[in-house]
Structure 1
């Protein structure tokens, strides 16, 4: 699946086809889509800004798909994923023998994107030494491959994205100001998920449908408690985190009901999950922590089942399967005053 299936356009016609993965109807998202509609028909450079996991690549694809270059190449490069010493060759290509290991000619991403669009993701990670060459390509639409003196002319629209503060990097002499001004022709700022929480139910429904089909685990019900938990969470990882947690919930689901995958104590439980490599251990850790937080009360509004977004019978079934039983507490020989001799075992 794509890294961040974020939005879906509600527009008709071409917008409906081109933005079919853009999910949401909030005012914050509507402002973003309005900017996309404005800039897409032009050939202007677009700078997509936003936190990690907000869907920057989807917006870049939307700009391309709504432009006159739709149907032409859309080439993407994650600048943070390529070692600095290889990034220049990746972008501009090289001739055979240009450096040690260059056993054949290589076409760079700019040439691949000729007549289309080039998406440079995490452009803030491009080293200073390479930024001047990138600026020249943007201004002149020409470059040379490594090891060659021949100039190649291209016709490429650039769409860049980053989660970094480029203005702050300029102040620290980590990013060229002239390149920034060339990139910042038309900025599009994506809101974090916490600022468009009205889109969460639609996003959850979309991910549940896609992921349940993929896993062959039909989901008929998303309990109100589960949706409320999604709505109250702060989502530091934005839509990507939401997608991953819905996937976890589908895996944990039983009887067609989507459980609440959010931990009772977010920091502590996530640490337990991340240290586990076994799904059964993850399931056991989640249930055990919910039981302990509810003092081993299963049912009721404050019971472990409600905290996990499960039916009481489903939780009891999972407990039995995992061998989870309430620990026996030592009783005092003489019960405290006012307490019956028979300890209640009701849950």
Structure 2
């Protein structure tokens, strides 16, 4: 409900978009450096640190509910996202590699993303009663608590990768190695750009609450509408494992269909529009998880987190462009039109999929069927 928090404290759509730009810009600056840090230090500890920094950002929002306080919270959140982005994917992939189970990565990543969305769905559904019970303060306090739980879960994870040997590689060497793989491998480079484009399109959901309010929905109903999009993402993530080996044309058609569905729902300008939006968002999530999994399979060097963070870096660039477009466009157009306009680059990206999506890992299908 943080978009509504900003709105109810007097911020305009342009100011809210500026906050999103600050958020993405922070991630932009820290994304690749944090990836190289993850390749030369304990990834598990960085996941813990990222969770704690995120919790601190929510606490700042509670204590200082103003533009400056919101901006500071987004700086902390951006730093947290940079620490976790790339680190998480590399951590999971290399832990599976240590056990000879990298073929299981698409299924595991899909299940993990799906579980995250289920937790997100539960939080979204709880937002309305929490708001009625204690307003934004209680919702913020529960958000801080969730970050502490996240840090505890990260602490409990095993770390087979030898941190000492990774540290001897050196930060700068890992940074150079990762950047070199992105620049010299055309398969990795194209996959990085595809994942970045798709990740930037997730900026859609930052405006769903504002669009819901535009349709006339009350604060207590808005989380329920958003819950539909989150549930669809959970389903899309869960289906990513079985869909991993499907032909590339399937993902091309799926991405194009998601653009049409989201545009149709937005232009309907009613609460019912969230139904096609949710379906489209679920398909988009499926394509994203499959693309991320195939990117990990394409990476061959030791600087896995650095390479993944380069993708995250360009995703932030894409997101900043989206936020800037919404900030400028909100002067003349309603949210429904702006959301529909964003589906145009989604549709265009569908034509890039056949050129950029790497071939699947040949062992993934066998391991997924065993499980």
TM-score, normalisation: structure 1:
0.23
Which has the greater radius of gyration? 1
TM-score with structure 2 length normalisation? Answer: 0.22
Larger % of strand: which? Answer: 1
Give the number of the structure with larger relative contact order, counting CA–CA contacts within 8 Å between residues 6 or more apart.
2
